[in-house]
Chains A and B, each alone.
Chain A
Amino acid sequence: MMSKTCIITGASRGIGREIALTLADQGMNIVINYLGSQARAEETAAEVESRGGQALVVRGDVADFGESEKLIKACIDKFNRVDILINNAGITRDSLIMRMKEEDWDKVISTNLKGVFNCSRAAVRFMIKQKGGRIINIASVVGLTGNPGQANYAAAKAGIIGFTKALAKEVASRGILVNAVAPGYIQTEMTEALPVESKEKILKHIPLGRLGQPADIAEMVKFLSMEASYITGQVMVVDGGLTM
């Protein structure tokens, strides 16, 4: 059977890296996009290859329309197709609205929301030609519930959910499935930045009694990438019961 090809944005660390490794275990070719951390992107690539997948590392800012097109093109040039796009790249610039700088708003919306548009737009025409594909957008429970200090992040993640549903309706007739995953509090460098007392407070509200691990998200992404042939336009919440 021919190997499937998957593009993951922001795959040098955190949830993106874990998704890359999990899908590599399934024998997929993995395009690892990164912006800042080249050494770690290459380390992820080496790990992907040690697990039997082919890896391609592509630097590019998903907030940039042209760079996003180049990312998808690089995948097509190397692997001739794109079966799965995982829009995972995301940043935070937290502060209360009253103190939030315009730049912090713009940056988070550009990377987290416009980045999803940029990469999906570029990938979808190839998927339409292939008459199939999967797009999985990494949203957040914060996009469903809001969170003080994260108005920019919450708006971007809620935006991703609307985008997911609209695109799912547009391309369903071509066999392309579009879904979102909304992680709760997952132990990564991003949540590492939270103050200690806030982490303890959060823990009290998680029925399953622990923070999530990147592998918890990667499992869901694997399911949506490889199985789940009758699911589209959905938001899969993976949060240990936090938001029920």
Chain B
Amino acid sequence: MDIFAKVKEMIVEQLGVEEEEVKKETAFKDLNADSLDIVELVMAMEEEFDLEISDEQVEKIKTVGDVIQYLEANV
């Protein structure tokens, strides 16, 4: 499974941004994601990848790459 492609798709849907804006080094704050957006994204990812992401992990997530890295290590 291409995790990056899936995550990109989810971010585009949730945040209503363009696909080209979502790169691994992109920070979520630059996508104008607020705290509720992040919670919603995390919940959607937990469902999609069937895992739990703890609040401590969520706090460490700053960029799209951070998410990919976490998912690749835990899926």
Contact = CB atoms under 8 A, between A and B. Distances in A.
Contacts of B43: 125
Contacts of A174: 36
Contacts of B40: 125, 128
A93 to B, nearest CB: 35
B44 to A, nearest CB: 10
B34 interface: yes
A184 B11 CA distance: 47
A144 interface: no
A171 B34 CA distance: 11
Interface in A77-115: none
Interface in A137-192: 170-171, 173-174
A171 B43 CA distance: 16
Nearest to A125: B43
Contacts of A173: 34, 36
Nearest to B35: A170
A2 to B, nearest CB: 23
Interface in B21-75: 34, 36, 40, 43
Contacts of B34: 173
A-B pairs with lowest CB-CB distance, top 8 = A128-B40, A174-B36, A173-B34, A173-B36, A128-B36, A170-B36, A125-B43, A171-B36
Interface of B: 34, 36, 40, 43
Given A171-B36, A173-B36, 7 more contacts: A125-B40, A125-B43, A128-B36, A128-B40, A170-B36, A173-B34, A174-B36
9 contacts: A125-B40, A125-B43, A128-B36, A128-B40, A170-B36, A171-B36, A173-B34, A173-B36, A174-B36
